[in-house]
Amino acid sequence: MNKLKQIHAFAALILSSMLFVQYGCAQKQPSDLSAESIIPKPVSVTAGGGYFNLRQGTEIIVDGSSEELLKVGHYLAERLRPATGYKLEVKTAVKEPGRGIYLTLSGADPASGNEGYELTVTERLVKLTAAAPEGVFRGVQTLRQILPAAIEKASVQEGSWKIPTGTVTDYPDYSYRGAMLDVARHFFSVEDVKRFTDFLAFYKMNVLHLHLSDDQGWRIEIRSWPNLTSHGGSTQVGGGKGGFYTQEQYADIVKYAGERYITIVPEIDMPGHTNAALASYAELNCDGKARELYTGTNVGFSTLCTGSETTYKFIDDVIRELAAMTPGRYIHIGGDESHVTKVEDYIPFINRVQEIVAAHGKQVIGWDEIALATLKPNTIAQCWASEKNSNAAIGQGAKILMAPARKAYLDMQYDKTTKLGLHWAGYIEVDAAYNWDPATLIPGIVKENIIGIEAPLWTETITNIDEIEYMVFPRLPGYAEIGWTPAASRNWDEYKMRLASHGERFSAMGIDYYRSPLVSWPQGK
Ligand code: TNX
């Protein structure tokens, strides 16, 4: 070969190998289920190396006659239809189909519990198996997360909808994984609450705690005490018009959450944080005089009249109506920051309210101060501020819900440039929010004492859904992972890569999130 031929041959080789790479890419992209960014991180993922293609004719096939599982099938179809534009028919079958998306309750590992699931993807079949519909529902969230991010868009997208083959086996570490929304300081519509609920569902959280009353507003209709909402619900922080949920609207929220396997924990805060009630009924005040409505942000100045029988009649009526609206087992009684209630009044008050809640068939959760009282064996103390109170609760045999303000408060600012939020418990950047273990954070509180974790969003400074989203994202996925994934499997440097890729999903969902400089967010939008 002469020199020129050599050069030609070399060039041809380069060119053909370039073509091969290009053609090869178009033909078959690498598939690796284990490299997908699933949050919370599953217990185990095995990659198959191929793809399942979601397409126009794909059907969602539900095993057997479970109405409940069929609803999960419809929920899945509704998530996938807008962006794909496909029909995605939902059908039932008596045996495993050869192709499609198959949801089944048979063959699950009972050790995975009600929320555990197994997702097996082959080139022909996507199969979700769980012991209960709840587990299939959790698995559906994994399925959403291994589709391209554009699947979350509300309108039809160009795209090929490939799902990498392999197997995910998964179940949660803690049974209680929640967030709280304060609808008392600022009121949020039913629609906003539903959107918030959808965020929790996407990250496999299972509790939405609603802070329904505070000094600035009473937000839930109580038919036997109508002024609570007509007057007590008529304003909010800053003097805006406030609002409240009728019992029908509240039932709609409970149902919506229930369809997402999310339990609503309603909170009526007492004996402090009660100015809205004290303004609505003169007889709830020891001096018999109704208070003025309050639209500021101070805490700790109000108290129910703990020595008066009217107070307990009031509480009994409120808890009775609330319990009737609550399918979940818990009623939250607040109990925090009752700075103007003498401790010798506070203790018998909490003891008596625990009895009232029990009489209406529910279990108490209260902020950690309730440990000053005599806790019933099934009462839960929510650890937010005091290590001493939390340990006292454990000493009485109570379990702890972990919501330490300095780690888990969604209203804490990210850093000193954050405009919304507060910083009394410190700044909580995305790494600090993620990088802690509920079972080792506080001396004396170990895993066996803890039912789970909760991230509260207080709303003194938060006025609309965009502001909610900015404080919640991107910290919420981290709290979800702390609740779901064992501490030994969690690592910030690895997590932050998965979180970065969720940036695209936040955008597809229209979420206005904080672009923390600690995370390499996708460029563009
Ligand atoms: C303390 S946390 C409170 C709330 C405030 C919050 C603001 C807790 C049990 N009580 O009343 O909204 O700080 O971060």
Dist CA 194 CA 141 (whole Å): 17
Bridge partners, 457 (sequence order)? 181
Of the chain, the percentage scoring pLDDT greater than 90 comes to 93
What distance in angstroms lies between residue 209's CA and the mean position of ligand 1's atoms? 14
Q: Which domains does the chain have, with CATH numbers?
A: 33-170 (3.30.379.10), 176-488 (3.20.20.80)
> What pLDDT band is residue 9 in, cutting at 50, 70 and 90?
low
pLDDT tens digits along 188-243: 999 999 999 999 999 999 999 999 999 999 999 999 999 999 999 999 999 999 99
Ligand 1 atom nearest the C-alpha of 336 is 9
The two three-digit tokens of residue 7, written as one number: 């050069």
What distance in angstroms lies between residue 51's CA and the mean position of ligand 1's atoms? 48
Over range 485-506, report the average pLDDT. Answer: 98
- Does residue 408 have its Cβ closer than 6 Å to ligand 1? no
- Does residue 367 have its Cβ closer than 6 Å to ligand 1? yes
Ligand 1 atom nearest the C-alpha of 299 is 11
pLDDT tens digits along 357-380: 999 999 999 999 999 999 999 999
Nearest CA to ligand 1 atom 13: 458
- Does residue 161 have its Cβ closer than 6 Å to ligand 1? no
Dist CA 105 CA 121 (whole Å): 16
> What pLDDT band is residue 27 in, cutting at 50, 70 and 90?
very low
pTM above 0.75, yes or no: yes
> What pLDDT band is residue 65 in, cutting at 50, 70 and 90?
confident
Burial of residue 378 (CB within 10 Å: 0-12, 13-18, 19+) is middle
Q: What is the mean pLDDT of the chain?
A: 95
C-alpha angle 150/155/157, rounded to 5°?
A: 50
pLDDT tens digits along 32-53: 999 999 999 999 999 999 999 9
Half-sphere exposure of 205 (CA within 13 A, CB side): 27
- Does residue 384 have its Cβ closer than 6 Å to ligand 1? yes
Determine the pLDDT at residue 24.
Answer: 36
- Does residue 368 have its Cβ closer than 6 Å to ligand 1? no
> What pLDDT band is residue 90 in, cutting at 50, 70 and 90?
very high
What distance in angstroms lies between residue 411's CA and the mean position of ligand 1's atoms? 9
Which residue of the set 68, 283, 337, 387 is catalytic?
337
What distance in angstroms lies between residue 458's CA and the mean position of ligand 1's atoms? 7
pLDDT tens digits along 270-287: 999 999 999 999 999 999
Burial 471-488 (b: 16+ CB within 10 A, else e): bbbbbbbbbbbbbbbeee
Over range 124-147, report the average pLDDT. Answer: 98
Q: Is 344 among the catalytic positions?
A: no
- Does residue 422 have its Cβ closer than 6 Å to ligand 1? yes
Determine the pLDDT at residue 523.
Answer: 84
